[in-house]
Amino acid sequence: MPRFSTRTLTSMALLIALEIVLSRFLSISAWNTKIGFAFVPVVIAAILLGPLYAGIVGAAADFLGALLFPIGAYFPGFTLTAFLMGLCYGLFLYRNQSFPRTLGAVAVHQLILSLLLNTLWISLLYGSPYAPLLLSRLPQCAILAAVQLAVIPLIAHILPQIRGGAA
């Protein structure tokens, strides 16, 4: 069982709060599309804390964001996807942030979790046909994949400098 130190819990709480703000207030949203930088706190958790903690940050942020600032009906499938996203980023990026690993993390996140799984949740939640919904979400995933491939290496480069200066 992982240990939750005061420092770890504080870091997780700050990242959860930041993810909620980025997701709920600073993202472009439509009923089946969402574009923004809400992935950044989860990626930071993945790089600094590891897969399990990043998964918890993603899931807690999704649940608390839905509870405090609902956009639509709460659906636990999105919380599962948020946990899996953090777990995915942690497995790929914890302790090693090379470009191939970043590419793998973004590919799994965007193709499997966002495109396939979140499209399934939206289809179930709203009763929309899966295939047309999947096609309509392709541009969102392509845009977010490009953004993430540009932003994650920047985060990985800046984080050690911030940690070194804070120590």
The predicted structure's pLDDT at residue 160: 84
- Whether residue 123 is contained in a domain is answered as yes
Q: Which residue range(s) make up the domain with 154?
A: 6-166
- Whether residue 138 is contained in a domain is answered as yes
- Whether residue 118 is contained in a domain is answered as yes
Our count of domains for the chain comes to: 1
- Whether residue 1 is contained in a domain is answered as no
DSSP tally for the chain: helices H, then strands E: 7, 2
The predicted structure's pLDDT at residue 158: 93
Q: The pTM is what?
A: 0.91
The predicted structure's pLDDT at residue 167: 42
C-alpha closest to that of 44 among 6, 80, 15, 14: 15
We report the CATH number of the domain holding residue 15 as 1.10.1760.20
Helix runs in 25-75, H state only: 39-49, 51-68
Which regions of the chain does DSSP assign to beta strands (E)? 28-29, 34-35
Taking only the tens of pLDDT, the chain with its 167 residues reads: 567 899 999 999 999 999 999 998 988 776 566 788 999 999 999 999 999 999 999 999 999 999 999 987 899 999 999 999 999 999 999 999 999 999 999 999 999 999 999 999 999 998 999 999 999 999 989 999 999 999 999 999 999 888 765 54
The predicted structure's pLDDT at residue 32: 60
